[in-house]
């Protein structure tokens, strides 16, 4: 597609429930990143996929967080047993070489 697409744009969930966030990168982009941004704060790196290489998961805050990507296509970020501290905007970005393009994000609210 023309840009990076994320869904849902907004998600409200009850504490303890699992959520799945989706990112459709720009076609042909080999690199895909997930970031978390809490209100008024900077971007916190979560995970990075590059082609078929093993992902860099060093930013995942706990084992409740996981992400998958099939080849160079869609990625899903799953948060299990959500906590209120997980409330944030989750941003996905993709890139071919440089000049990363961000999606509009998923605003997650855990109540």
Residues near another protein, by CB under 8 A: 31, 33, 35, 41-43, 45, 48, 50, 56, 91, 98-105
Choose between 58 and 70: whose C-beta lies nearer to another protein: 58
- Rounded to a whole number of angstroms, the minimum distance from the CB of residue 98 to another protein is 5
Rounded to whole angstroms, the Cα distance separating 21 from 11 reads 9
- Rounded to a whole number of angstroms, the minimum distance from the CB of residue 16 to another protein is 28
The backbone region for 94, taken as left when phi is positive above 0, alpha when psi lies in -120 to 50, beta otherwise, is beta
The backbone region for 16, taken as left when phi is positive above 0, alpha when psi lies in -120 to 50, beta otherwise, is left
Choose between 20 and 56: whose C-beta lies nearer to another protein: 56
Choose between 80 and 101: whose C-beta lies nearer to another protein: 101
- Rounded to a whole number of angstroms, the minimum distance from the CB of residue 45 to another protein is 6
- Rounded to a whole number of angstroms, the minimum distance from the CB of residue 103 to another protein is 6
Q: 29, 84 in Cβ contact below 8 A?
A: no
Query: Token digits for 37?
Result: 């941004």
Work out whether strand 75-79 and strand 19-24 pair parallel, antiparallel, or are unpaired.
antiparallel
Choose between 35 and 65: whose C-beta lies nearer to another protein: 35
């Amino acid at each position: 597609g023309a840009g990076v697409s994320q869904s849902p744009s907004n998600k409200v969930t009850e504490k303890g429930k699992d959520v799945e966030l989706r990112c459709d990168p720009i076609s042909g982009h080999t690199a895909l990143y997930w970031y978390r941004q809490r209100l008024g704060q900077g971007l916190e790196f979560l995970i990075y996929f590059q082609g078929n290489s093993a992902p860099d998961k060093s930013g995942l805050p706990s084992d409740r967080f996981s992400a998958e990507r099939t080849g160079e296509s869609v990625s899903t970020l799953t948060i299990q047993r959500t906590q209120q501290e997980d409330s944030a905007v989750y941003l996905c970005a993709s890139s071919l070489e440089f000049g990363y393009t961000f999606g509009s994000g998923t605003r997650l609210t855990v109540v």
